[in-house]
Each structure stands twice: as structure tokens, then as C-alpha cells.
């Protein structure tokens, strides 16, 4: 979801942005008004996340999937090994891509627990010769989320935060680099945020395409080529909306409350269940299963009649999944819980 207030503002400004009688889509990215928009979005993001001055904020294309390749290309820095934690499907995709550029050390894997838990940190096989340690803070499909920042023991920590960046406060100083596709909590698809510590720039491998070269993009203020101007504009509106909500502390409080309501309802139910260890249950994506799988299609079709959509689990895991990103209001979660209770009363 995008916040309704953002969509309404975008609608109202669609044909006439800031009195220009042009759509923001029709404005040159090099023009002073657009440069102002881009500058404001970066300033708001820095403000919300309290980004330390020595970090660069980049707005790129190619999604988080592009970053799966860009991260090793930029951060290998003459080393031959990189370390990755495997907590599920998205970590595995990042690992597969990194293997094109370096030897990947898998420091630990959730495989033995069926990816229902994060392997305890004392079991991780740290490798101090690795260029960095990569993990996925929220496994969007599996519903497994870190509730703390792990220790990389001296090597740069890199994180794919595609599905939980801006959902809670963050101590960026613990990271060498973080990245996230915008389309969960930050805006529409088509724009990707990378925040990288300045000292890690400038050593990309020779073959790195310029558009994926963080040093070049930082020098060009993310405008080496034409950026996704409309996505950047919408991202800026979402950031302004987030500030109006009270920033990350405030939104984290709401996100906590939404997740608690939903997990408590699932745990009380004898028809639905969530298999993930309590300590790492995601506050963004809540997967749940139904005991009698023959009821799955009735659940989805009846939910749709109640205006509750996109509840299918990812095609690779089945079941159901409620994604409750920042823009999902508390009422949306309450409506789902009421529907689940009613469904169980009739079919349970
Ligand atoms: C955690 C995570 N990483 C990476 C991706 C891939 O993102 P993109 O589609 O922007 O390449 C996703 C997409 O859902 C994701 O949830």
C-alpha cells in the first residue's frame, strides 16, 4: 500500500506540479525545481534515519536485485571472499548473485530449522578475511525478521533492508552499507535506496557498469543518467508523509501494535497458525497457514468480498501472508482479524 494521502496529493498535482502547468513527469531532472525535489527527498531521508554525515545516500535503479550484484562489485576491494547469512529465499538470491564475483562463505543457514528461526549468533562461522558480511533484515516471503543488529566482528556489515527500511529507527553507524527497493515502505517500484559509508567507495572492480558504481553515482548525485523521476517524486511524498506521522519512532510503535494484534489472533486460533519462532517473527510480513488446506480458496475468496486482498502466500511457500507495511492502517489489521475470527466460527 501507499498512504492514501500520498496518492491523493499525487493525483491533485498530476497535471500541474508546483504551478508549472506541467506534470512532474514532464520536467527535466536537471531543472532547478526537480533538483530541489531530489535534494529535499535526500534531506528528509537523512533526517528520518539520522544518517551520519560520512554516509552517501544514493537513489538508483535495478531494484534490490540489481544491488545483489552491485554490492560485491563495489565492496570486494581486492579481496576474494564475502560472507553471507542464509535466512531464506531473499538471502539465497543475494548469495547466488554474489557467487558471480567472489567465493561466498555461508556463515550460517536457517535451513536446518526449515527457515523458521535465525541461527544463533554464537554458531556463525565468521570469516575475518571476507570483504563484508551480508544479511537480510526481513525475509519478506518467510516472515523472519531480525529484531537486533548482528555483530560483523570488524568487517563491514551489509544489509538488504528492502522490506523493513523506514519501519523502525535504525543505528546506521553499525553498517557499511544498506540497500532497499522502495516498493514496500518508501514508495513505488523503480527506485532503490543505497546508503553507504564514504570510505567504502572508489574501489569497484573494473567491470562494474557506471550506473552501478557507487563512487560514480555519489559524485553524480545519483544522476549519472536519467533517474526514475516520478518514482523519486513519490518517494519524496512518502517521506514527507512519514515525517507527518511523527517519524520512525512513531511508525515503529504503530507497526508493533499491528503485528501484535495479528500474531495474538493467530496464536489464539485453532484453525490458523504461524510457524516462525517468536523471537524473529516479522512485523512487516505475517505468513499464516490454515489447518485444513481445503479451506484455502474459500478463505481467499471470502476475504476478497470483505475488501481484504493480496492475502495469498508467496507462490513458493503457499498459505497466506498479510503484509502490513507502514501505509497499512491499524483498521486494516483489525478488519483482517475480525474476518479471521468470523471465518473460524463458521468453518473451524
Ligand atoms: C528482502 C527482499 N530483497 C530483495 C527483493 C527484490 O527486490 P526487487 O524486486 O526490487 O529487485 C525483495 C522483493 O520483494 C525483497 O523482499
Cα separation values, 132 from 70, 117, 171, 217, Å: 13, 23, 18, 21
Nearest alpha carbon, ligand 1 atom 14 = 140
Active-site residue identified among 44, 86, 160, 164: 160
192-197 and 177-181 beta bridge pairing: antiparallel
Predicted pLDDT of residue 316: 83
Compute the distance between CA of residue 259 and CA of residue 263 in angstroms, rounded to an integer: 6
pLDDT of residue 203: 96
In the chain, the percentage of residues whose pLDDT exceeds 90 is 98
Closest CA to ligand 1's atom 4: 64
Helix axes 4-13, 229-244, angle to 10 degrees: 130
Q: Is residue 258 annotated as part of the catalytic site, yes or no?
A: no
Span from the CA of 196 to the centroid of ligand 1 (angstroms):
18
Q: Is 110 exposed, middle or buried (0-12, 13-18, 19+ CB in 10 A)?
A: buried
Is any atom of ligand 1 closer than 6 Å to the C-beta of 181? yes
Indicate if the pLDDT at residue 278 is higher than 90.
Answer: yes
Does the beta carbon of 69 sit less than 6 angstroms from any atom of ligand 1?
no
160 is catalytic: yes
pLDDT value at residue 317? 84
Nearest to 138 by CA among 201, 185, 82: 185
Q: pLDDT, tens digit, for every residue of 232-261? A: 999 999 999 999 999 999 999 999 999 999
Q: From CA 325, how far away is CA 299, in angstroms rounded?
A: 22
Cβ contact 52:173 at 8 Å: yes
- For the chain, the C-alpha Rg in angstroms (whole number) is 21
Grade residue 195 by pLDDT with cuts at 50, 70 and 90. Answer: very high
Q: How far is Cα 50 from Cα 156, in angstroms, rounded to an integer?
A: 19
Res. 298: pLDDT tops 90: yes
Torsion of CA 168, 174, 179, 181, to 10 degrees: -10
Give pLDDT, residue 318.
86
Mean pLDDT of the chain: 97
Q: Please tell me the predicted confidence (pLDDT) of residue 193.
A: 98
Task: Report the nearest atom of ligand 1 relative to the CA of 68.
Answer: 4
Which of 17, 90, 232, 241 is flagged as catalytic? Answer: 90
Does residue 181 register a pLDDT over 90?
yes
**pLDDT band (50, 70, 90) for residue 146:** very high
Query: Is 64 a pocket residue for ligand 1 (Cβ < 6 Å)?
Result: yes
Question: Using CA positions, which residue lies closest to atom 5 of ligand 1?
Answer: 64
Sign, CA dihedral 213-218-222-226, equals negative
**What pLDDT is stored for residue 77 in this prediction?**
94
> Average pLDDT for residues 14-39, to the nearest whole number?
97
CA–centroid distance, residue 141 to ligand 1 (Å): 10
- Residue ranges and CATH numbers for the domains of the chain are 4-244 (3.40.640.10), 247-347 (3.90.1150.10)
Residue 117 annotated as catalytic: no
Amino acid at each position: 500500500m501507499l498512504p492514501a494521502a500520498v496518492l491523493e496529493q499525487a493525483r491533485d498535482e498530476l497535471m500541474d506540479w508546483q504551478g508549472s502547468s506541467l506534470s512532474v513527469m514532464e520536467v527535466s531532472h536537471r531543472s532547478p525545481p526537480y533538483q530541489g525535489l531530489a535534494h529535499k527527498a535526500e534531506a528528509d531521508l537523512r533526517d528520518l534515519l539520522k544518517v551520519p554525515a560520512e554516509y552517501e545516500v544514493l537513489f538508483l535503479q535495478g531494484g534490490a536485485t540489481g544491488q545483489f550484484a552491485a554490492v560485491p562489485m563495489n565492496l570486494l576491494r581486492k579481496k576474494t571472499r564475502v560472507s553471507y547469512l542464509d535466512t531464506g529465499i531473499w538471502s539465497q538470491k543475494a548469495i547466488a548473485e554474489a557467487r558471480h564475483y567472489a567465493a561466498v562463505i555461508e556463515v550460517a543457514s536457517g535451513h536446518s530449522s526449515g527457515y523458521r528461526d535465525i541461527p544463533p549468533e554464537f554458531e556463525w562461522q565468521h570469516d575475518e578475511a571476507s570483504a563484508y558480511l551480508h544479511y537480510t533484515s526481513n525475509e519478506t516471503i518467510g516472515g523472519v525478521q531480525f529484531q537486533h543488529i548482528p555483530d560483523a566482528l570488524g568487517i563491514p556489515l551489509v544489509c538488504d533492508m528492502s522490506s523493513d527500511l523506514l519501519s523502525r529507527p535504525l543505528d546506521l553507524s553499525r553498517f557499511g552499507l544498506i540497500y532497499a527497493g522502495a516498493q514496500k515502505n518508501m514508495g513505488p517500484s523503480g527506485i532503490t535506496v543505497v546508503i553507504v559509508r564514504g570510505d567504502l567507495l572508489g574501489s569497484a572492480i573494473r567491470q562494474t557498469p557506471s550506473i552501478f558504481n557507487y563512487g560514480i553515482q555519489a559524485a553524480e548525485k545519483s544522476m549519472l543518467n536519467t533517474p526514475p523521476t516520478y518514482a523519486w517524486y513519490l518517494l519524496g511524498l512518502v517521506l514527507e508523509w512519514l515525517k507527518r506521522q511523527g517519524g520512525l519512532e512513531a511508525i515503529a510503535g504503530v507497526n508493533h501494535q499491528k503485528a501484535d494484534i495479528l500474531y495474538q489472533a493467530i496464536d489464539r486460533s485453532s484453525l490458523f497458525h504461524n510457524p516462525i519462532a517468536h523471537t524473529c517473527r516479522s512485523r512487516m510480513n505475517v505468513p499464516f497457514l490454515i489447518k485444513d488446506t481445503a479451506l484455502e480458496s474459500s478463505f481467499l475468496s471470502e476475504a476478497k468480498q470483505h475488501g481484504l486482498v493480496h492475502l495469498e502466500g508467496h507462490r513458493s511457500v503457499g498459505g497466506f501472508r498479510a503484509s502490513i507495511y507502514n501505509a497499512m492502517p491499524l483498521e486494516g489489521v483489525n478488519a483482517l482479524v475480525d474476518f479471521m475470527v468470523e471465518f473460524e466460527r463458521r468453518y473451524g
